[in-house]
Chains A and B, each alone.
Chain A
């Protein structure tokens, strides 16, 4: 039996309902901390430990790494959205002065992959503009760029589809003709699903999350409703645009591989590189001292990590491979679009009776275009069901982006709740106070309303000018916050 002691802990929301609770904890645990204003460091501003390096320009980001004998590498990328590569002629590029090595890709490391469909062709099928085809290492970046440009590619063009609604049609060109699988990314792109329900380019639906599956009875819920909002909302594709692009400097040595990379996840990069090169993880060292922004998209070694590794191994020199801005936009991740059908029923007093959600979105050649769990957990509602579909298009793969899916999902749900408040002739915040069980969010809304001056808000439609200005409210949640509630 472990000895325990009873301790009082501060509990609740400061300046609202802060109280104390008594808890039993092991004897050897430190005493409970007082609230922040009685602490010396917690809750007090501190200087960023690396701020001086950043303001003086001394901070070395991956793009700034320079090693003795280092080569610069550049990708050659597809200029067409769908094709078979018939031939690749690197003979001129190999002879180009200053070129050290060229590698032509045979396997693509990101996005969804067709299962067990080893092509007889030497090259992967082209499925999006920007798909990497080859990499060149040279003594300078401009030489690598020039050599990449004189690599000749003979394409056999294929039909393609880049519009999500066109891609949903049965007659649309198929992005994948065989079942696909996608390696889990440490970035967590949200709910994905088995590939067993495929219809053309459409995969899914996902109907559940770790909060469970559908609940109640939609039909009954809508029958009980006094008011129903039924609407389709759309969000567009966004690209992450970290100021520092994705990239690496790889220094391959017989005793181990040193990888400098701009990443949020050194461990995932180490594991990917070790797996790719069949090295023990102890032989791969990944360093990221500074990262010029990631926003969720920098969880992986991508194709650039293996490419730089191969070129470094081939040449015996460190290889610098940072993407340029265009490559970053077209190939290195995005937040998928969404087309969300929402139907929400409510009683006259505001209480929700049913929420139905059906979404389609495209993460290009990848999975992960769901709209998250907001509709499922944000508001009290006994009857709920969701169907979330992925649609493949001939476009660059999506990537995690700070609460994957939830941003799009929250946008749709909150638009619908606003429309509901109009139909019920209720203030949008007052309606949320009725349907949202979270005490924390209630206090947040109160404080936000004060800061924004919510009382000066005019009803929807008050501004008759061509450009309309007004005040609105929206909220969201993320599973880890829900647990903390």
Chain B
């Protein structure tokens, strides 16, 4: 329970919470914080099982910072993080990959959507140390060799952005859809971005942009 309390996203009563003296086992964390996904639902068990096998179960990690390697957008990078750091925090605060947005910080809005091995996840609900060997793709990795991805170009052509804060997450969900479904219906598009909350109301233009991009790919 003590570990869990640390993750509560609030500035509630000034309860005296000291850092854990013993350190926190990886296993305890996994029980406390699950991974949910963005537009595409995945069962968390399948996702975690690979990573779990790679770490000895009795190795305590933290609370001090640890070194991990992350494969991000095709490059392997070493970062020093606290074991409790989420992937979203590490991307933004340590690697300056700020295209990934933190909006709700609780897996409800998909603004922080990145891919792990090509599958969309909420990076705010993914511990960075759980990523393991999997390839992380962020919005910064979607355009290749300076060329916009057709979905990105289509978002521009169809004016599918307003304030733009949900846009990276929208694009991560949309590109994943077209990677897995070359000829989607509008219902497929709605399904793919159903987790991506947009407060400005860009959804109709996003539908047009994704359907049009599918035709051009």
A292 at the interface (CB under 8 A from B): yes
The interface residues of chain B lying within 8 Å CB-to-CB of A461 are: none
Would you give the shortest CB distance from A51 to chain B, in whole angstroms? 4
Would you give the shortest CB distance from B201 to chain A, in whole angstroms? 11
A181 at the interface (CB under 8 A from B): no
- Flag if A325 contacts B104 (CB, 8 Å): yes
Contacts A243-B111, A325-B103 known; A79 to B13 CB distance under 8 Å?
A: yes
**CA gap between A51 and B159 in the complex, in Å:** 8
A47 at the interface (CB under 8 A from B): yes
Stretch at the interface among B42-50, B115-123, B150-158: B150-158
**CA gap between A368 and B29 in the complex, in Å:** 46
- Flag if B161 contacts A150 (CB, 8 Å): no
A76 at the interface (CB under 8 A from B): yes
Would you give the shortest CB distance from A81 to chain B, in whole angstroms? 14
Interface residues of A in 136-175 (CB under 8 A from B): 140-142, 145-146, 148-153
Contacts A64-B92, A76-B11, A149-B14 known; A56 to B99 CB distance under 8 Å?
A: yes
Contacts A56-B143, A57-B138 known; A291 to B163 CB distance under 8 Å?
A: yes
Q: Mark B1-28, 1 if CB is under 8 A from A, else 0.
A: 0000000011111111101000000000
B166 at the interface (CB under 8 A from A): yes
- Flag if B111 contacts A57 (CB, 8 Å): no
**CA gap between A55 and B13 in the complex, in Å:** 40
Contact of A327 among B11, B98, B157, B171 (CB under 8 A): B11
The interface residues of chain A lying within 8 Å CB-to-CB of B15 are: 149
- Flag if A55 contacts B17 (CB, 8 Å): no
- Flag if B163 contacts A243 (CB, 8 Å): yes
Would you give the shortest CB distance from B10 to chain A, in whole angstroms? 5
B109 at the interface (CB under 8 A from A): yes
**CA gap between A293 and B167 in the complex, in Å:** 12
Contact of B139 among A47, A56, A92, A293 (CB under 8 A): A56
> Which one of A45, A74, A243 has the highest number of Cβ atoms from chain B below 10 Å of its Cβ?
A243
Would you give the shortest CB distance from B197 to chain A, in whole angstroms? 7
The interface residues of chain A lying within 8 Å CB-to-CB of B161 are: 48, 51, 54-55
Contacts A55-B152, A57-B138, A243-B109 known; A290 to B164 CB distance under 8 Å?
A: yes
Closest to B155 in A: A55
- Flag if A293 contacts B163 (CB, 8 Å): yes
B211 at the interface (CB under 8 A from A): no
Contact of A148 among B11, B106, B142 (CB under 8 A): B11
A439 at the interface (CB under 8 A from B): no
- Flag if B199 contacts A150 (CB, 8 Å): no
Would you give the shortest CB distance from B159 to chain A, in whole angstroms? 6
Would you give the shortest CB distance from A297 to chain B, in whole angstroms? 12
Contact of B155 among A51, A241, A243, A244 (CB under 8 A): A51
**CA gap between A295 and B163 in the complex, in Å:** 11
Closest to B19 in A: A146
Q: Mark A91-111, 1 if CB is under 8 A from B, else 0.
A: 010000000000000000000
Closest to B17 in A: A149
**CA gap between A45 and B14 in the complex, in Å:** 54
Closest to A295 in B: B199
B57 at the interface (CB under 8 A from A): no
Would you give the shortest CB distance from A367 to chain B, in whole angstroms? 26
Would you give the shortest CB distance from B71 to chain A, in whole angstroms? 18
Would you give the shortest CB distance from A99 to chain B, in whole angstroms? 13
**CA gap between A205 and B166 in the complex, in Å:** 41
Interface residues of A in 311-335 (CB under 8 A from B): 324-327
Contact of B105 among A75, A293, A325 (CB under 8 A): A325
- Flag if A244 contacts B11 (CB, 8 Å): no
Closest to A240 in B: B199
A469 at the interface (CB under 8 A from B): no
Would you give the shortest CB distance from B100 to chain A, in whole angstroms? 7
A58 at the interface (CB under 8 A from B): yes
A59 at the interface (CB under 8 A from B): yes
Closest to B167 in A: A54
- Flag if B156 contacts A47 (CB, 8 Å): yes
B97 at the interface (CB under 8 A from A): yes
- Flag if B199 contacts A293 (CB, 8 Å): yes
**CA gap between A53 and B89 in the complex, in Å:** 21
Residues of B at the A interface (CB closer than 8 Å) are 9-17, 19, 82, 84, 89, 92-93, 96-106, 109, 111, 138-140, 142-143, 148, 152, 155-157, 159, 161, 163-168, 171, 197-200
A–B complex contacts, Cβ < 8 Å, 28 sampled: A48-B156, A52-B152, A54-B167, A55-B148, A55-B171, A56-B148, A56-B152, A57-B98, A61-B165, A63-B98, A66-B93, A66-B96, A74-B11, A92-B16, A141-B93, A146-B17, A149-B16, A150-B17, A243-B101, A243-B111, A243-B198, A243-B199, A290-B164, A324-B10, A324-B11, A324-B105, A326-B9, A326-B11
Given contacts A48-B159, A58-B99, A243-B109, 4 further A-B contacts (CB under 8 A): A54-B161, A56-B148, A292-B163, A325-B106
Nearest 3 CB-CB pairings of A with B? A57-B99, A292-B165, A54-B164
